Amino acid sequence: MQFDTGNTGFMLLATSLVMLMTPGLAFFYGGLVGRRNVLTIMIQSYVSMGVTTVLWVAVGYSMCFGPDVWGIIGNLDHAFLMGLSVDQALSINNNIPVLVFVAYQMMFAIITPALITGAFANRVSFKAYLIFLVAWLLLVYFPFAHMVWGGGILQQWGVLDFAGGIVVHAIAGMAALASVFFVGKRKVADSVPHSIPLVALGTGLLWFGWYGFNAGSELRVDSVTALAFLNTDVAASFAATVWLIIDWHKTRKPKFVGLLTGAVAGLATITPAAGFVTTQSAMIIGIIAGLVCYYAVALKNRLGWDDALDVWGVHGVGGILGVIALGVFGTVAVNTSGANGLLYGGTSFFFKQVVAVVGASIYAFLFSYVMLMVINRITPVRVSESEELGLDEKLHGEVAYVDGKSFED
């Protein structure tokens, strides 16, 4: 088989970029928590790189992209990657090795459950998290990846999700909210991020990796790839600027963490629409993301939900908003594989997008809550109050800083 070497090289790069997002998330979350709980939140991201990879090659790829069963899940024909040869192409249109696609989609599976961890920061035992990670992938992520991307019922119905508004952000954000309600509030909340430079580093890695996340989802190099790349940056930038302005007005000071959080909100929101909307629409989506996600976080604070690192307000609300925005702004003028949204006469498509993302969000919320109840019967989900004060040392026997101070101190 003669592969398209340009597309193959691009997809290997995109895969590497998406892989980098998980360490980026670890730094982003690590900087936001207290200095005695840094390693605990970071290992929850890094361990997904190992455990999810094992699960992905064993059954995950086959469950997501194997032959369809009832429109909900793939069968196990490709368990342990059986039946996939090194010289097999993904398709005629995407003439890259199928093994590159296996690796690329694996990176999405790795980061999605790691997103959830920011919601229950400082409160969940490592053992309970590992069980949750495996069960959530098997029973939430894999089915939705198949239904939306793997030939399942939502894809057959005409639902579109360019790079993971439903499959990644909406279901992770709603699972995060379920975990907040189940686990309850922290006994001692971190008053401020312990290291804003770490948050900035993590944001930079996430933003950089997001080009592979969105542009790579075209699975080849063409005009849509360029569109998705540009739309990703534009939406993130507009959202970051809007969040900064609102925060500046509210607090009378321009906050760095606000700017960084706004950028991530814009990135999450443009994800499902990146390759299906014009760049002008991406600007509008970025502005809406900055506004809506900011006030979603404010609402969460007012209601007293202890979503420690704003996973629901940024990823959940952003993902849902992006899927609906695609239903409004999508146009076949920029991508013939897409659909016309509400502004272009696509009332039916808009309805499908709303129904799909609402249904997925409800399922992810309810199932995640029930799953935590079941896990709690196997092993306590929540750590003790004494452990909560310093999880790094209590759970892992390691500390990020000596005696609560940095080595430079």
Higher per-residue confidence, 91 vs 182: 182
Helix, strand, coil share of the chain (percent; to 5): 70, 0, 30
Q: Is the pLDDT of residue 408 over 60?
A: no
Question: Which residues, in sequence order, are CB contacts of 308 under 8 Å at separation 6+?
Answer: 32, 33, 118, 119, 120, 121, 122, 186, 189, 190
Q: What is the mean pLDDT of residues 279-298?
A: 96
DSSP 8-state assignment for residue 121: T
Q: Which residue stretches of 35-152 are H helix?
A: 38-55, 61-65, 98-116, 126-136, 142-149
pLDDT digits (tens, 9 = 90+) for 2-13: 788 899 999 999
Percent of the chain with pLDDT over 90: 76
pLDDT confidence of residue 269: 96
Q: What are phi and psi of 125, to 5 degrees?
A: -70, 155
**Partners of 73 in the β-ladder:** 69
pLDDT confidence of residue 203: 95
Q: What is the mean pLDDT of residues 101-127?
A: 92
What token pair was written down for 243? 């969040």
Sketch out the chain's domains with CATH numbers: 5-396 (1.10.3430.10)
* Distance of alpha carbon 297 from alpha carbon 294, whole angstroms: 5
Q: Is the pLDDT of residue 27 over 50?
A: yes
Percent of the chain with pLDDT over 70: 98
1 by Cβ neighbours in 10 Å (0-12 / 13-18 / 19+) ranks as exposed
pLDDT digits (tens, 9 = 90+) for 353-407: 999 999 999 999 999 999 999 999 999 988 887 787 788 788 888 888 886 454 3
pLDDT confidence of residue 403: 63
Residue type, 106: M
333 by Cβ neighbours in 10 Å (0-12 / 13-18 / 19+) ranks as exposed
Question: Which residues, in sequence order, are CB contacts of 394 under 8 Å at separation 6+?
Answer: 383, 386, 387
pLDDT confidence of residue 1: 62
Q: Is the pLDDT of residue 189 over 80?
A: no
**Total-model pTM:** 0.92
What are the CB-based long-range contacts (under 8 Å, 24+) for 90-96? 90/219, 93/220, 94/7, 94/219, 94/220, 95/3, 95/4, 95/7, 95/220, 96/3, 96/4, 96/7, 96/8, 96/11, 96/219, 96/220
Q: Is the pLDDT of residue 191 over 90?
A: no
pLDDT digits (tens, 9 = 90+) for 312-339: 999 999 999 999 999 999 999 999 999 9
* Distance of alpha carbon 342 from alpha carbon 346, whole angstroms: 5
Q: For all residues of the chain together, what is the average pLDDT?
A: 92
Q: What is the mean pLDDT of residues 242-260?
A: 93
110, 130 Cβ separation under 8 angstroms:
no
pLDDT band at 239 (very low <50, low <70, confident <90, very high): very high
pLDDT confidence of residue 407: 38
332 by Cβ neighbours in 10 Å (0-12 / 13-18 / 19+) ranks as middle
* Distance of alpha carbon 51 from alpha carbon 274, whole angstroms: 29
pLDDT band at 409 (very low <50, low <70, confident <90, very high): very low
